[in-house]
Amino acid sequence: MSVSPHNVIVILTDQQRWDTTGVHGNPADVTPEFDRIARTGTHVEQALTPQPVCAPARAALQTGRYPTATGVFRNDIPLPGDIPTIAGVFGDAGYVTGYIGKWHLGGAEASQAGPVAAERRGGYQRWLASDLLEFTSDAYRTVLYDEQGEAVRLVGFRSDALIDAAIRFVADHHDRPFFLFLSLLEPHHQNATDDYPAPEGYRERYEGRWLPADLAALSANAPQGGAHRHLGGYLGQIKRVDEGVGRLRDSLRSLGLEDSTVVAWTADHGSHFRTRNEEYKRSAHDASIRVPLALTGPGFSGGGLIRRPVSTVDLVPTLVEAAGLPVPEGVQGRSFLPLIGGGEDPDRPEAVFVQISESHIGRALRTVRWKYAVAAPEGDPWADPGASRYVETELYDLAADPHELDNLAGLTSHREVADVLREELTRWMVRVGEPKPLIEPAEVRPAGGRKAEPEVTELPWDGVPFAHRATGSSPLGHRRG
């Protein structure tokens, strides 16, 4: 495949649910710019992260490999320097590569200090980032680190400040092909306060406007008010990001680069607002793993709707192939270019595979209709990337129960479905390099029975791990705060 060089900008939000966007039916009009990208470009309707934890998801977005394949199966593990990255592919092809924002792949040492050593920057040539931006910034005090590791304070609301830096990058490098990865913190909570600081007036604009059905059903049991307390600020942050992306796209138009620049917008994972466990993610539910994904520009404009489930681990080979560049050996994602414009890929698996760590050692499958999840009854989810034995914990019929409120695991009426999904999950685990596991069926329940959510305790929202502790009757081993 040979194509003319074009620019690429990847926009990554942190902890953004898919259903915050208008194209997914959100009535609050939060994302008109994302919706324009989706409607005029290519919209992946069911995009799913390979891991609902920050660092593992980000490692997959840089390498096209699953977290256990990169070794970054949890936070605080650095991205290995010997694994090819998307920045390396574009850099070797003569592109100027740049990274702006939150990195979270520098390892535990960088997470404490902020700056990231040059050898741990994934091959990016231009650099303005902090390993854990949530700890080196707040809403109106954004501190990043440049290529020399020196602190740089940017002015303005945090997402505006980062997008302004991206606009400067585009202006400085518009005369040659560039690859820019813009990693925003919003709409992640501010860890020190467990709050979602939005610009003045933005929180108020969205308070009481919209509550997704899963949060409406479950928020009563969430600590400190859950989504009822936070959703206004969360949506206000996304609205400001969307406006900023509009300004970034305006800069492309003013420089005559709009038609020669691919823009891809996605998120590392979603947020269930502490309704499924004691944290915001780290569960197999769509609220944790389903994210927005839309692309526009060369190869993607007018691409229409991709309805089948797609993993964001597929983004690396997709962007690389779209640029006519060779996909590095070892990439496990699969380009979704054949699906654009209503195309087919008969060899593409029907299911998307998900790995889970930190809260528990878990694995899951997501198809158009079904969600199937298992968890390891032994092992330390902070120390062990996988396990040899798992037990079924969740089965959801997404056609009948899209908000995953009725867990069907163990029902005799659904044993045949679970068996098929168990075999497919086993194949996926082997396919990505894990040992073939033993997966035990859930405890048998008669048809019509209802199962409560599996008990999964979590890291506290400040991300600091506590001593490992088992919880008696639960099949899961936990790390909790």
| Domains of the chain (ranges, CATH numbers) | 7-342 (3.40.720.10), 360-479 (3.30.1120.10)
The string over 195-232, giving b where at least 16 C-beta atoms fall within 10 Å of a residue's C-beta and e elsewhere, is: bbbbbeebbebbeeebebebbeebbeebeeebbbbbbb
pLDDT 10s digits, 34-76: 999 999 999 999 999 999 999 999 999 999 999 999 999 999 9
Does the pLDDT value for residue 13 go beyond 60?
A: yes
Percent of the chain with pLDDT over 90: 78
Q: Is the pLDDT of residue 162 over 80?
A: yes
**Burial annotation 400-424 (CB, 10 A radius, 16+ → b, else e):** eeebbeebbbbbeebbebbeebbeb
Give mean pLDDT, residues 440-444: 95
DSSP state of 436: P
Mean pLDDT of 185-209: 88
- Is the pLDDT confidence value at 450 over 60? no
Q: pTM above 0.85?
A: yes
- pLDDT the model gives residue 223: 60
297 against 271, higher pLDDT: 297
**Which pLDDT value is given to residue 217?**
83
The closest of 340, 283, 282, 284 to 310, measured between CA atoms, is 340
User: Would you tell me how many other CB atoms lie within 10 Å of the CB of residue 436?
Assistant: 10
- Rounded to 10 degrees, the C-alpha dihedral 18/23/27/33 comes to 90
Give the model's pLDDT for residue 222: 65
Distances (CA, A) of 242 to 14, 113, 156: 13, 30, 16
Output the DSSP codes for 113-158. Answer: HS---GGGSTT-SEEEEETTHHHHEETTEEEEE-TTS-EEEE-SSH
Kindly tell me the sign of the dihedral angle through the C-alpha atoms of 103, 255, 242, 323: negative
| DSSP output for 224-252 | GGHHHHHHHHHHHHHHHHHHHHHHHHHHH
* pLDDT tens column, 167-182: 999 999 999 999 999 9
Spatial separation of the C-alpha atoms in residues 253 and 471, rounded to whole Å: 56
pLDDT value of residue 279: 77
With beta carbons less than 8 A apart as the criterion, state whether 384 and 361 touch: yes
Confidence band of 453 (pLDDT split at 50, 70, 90): low
Check whether 190 has a pLDDT greater than 60: yes
Distance CA 425, CA 372 (A): 9
Please report the pLDDT score of residue 473 as a whole number: 29
Average pLDDT over residues 330-335: 98
∠ CA 366-367-370, nearest 5°, is: 80
pLDDT band, residue 5 (cuts 50/70/90): confident
State the pLDDT at residue 475.
Answer: 26
Summarize the confidence of residues 206-219 as an average pLDDT. 85
DSSP 392-413: EEEEEETTT-TT--SB-TTBGG
Distance CA 351, CA 362 (A): 16
**Is the model's pLDDT at 476 over the cut of 80?**
no
Average pLDDT over residues 276-284: 80
pLDDT in tens, 426-435: 999 999 999 9
Residue with more model confidence, 35 or 446: 35
Q: How many CB atoms lie within 10 A of CB 109?
A: 14
Q: What is the mean pLDDT of the chain?
A: 89
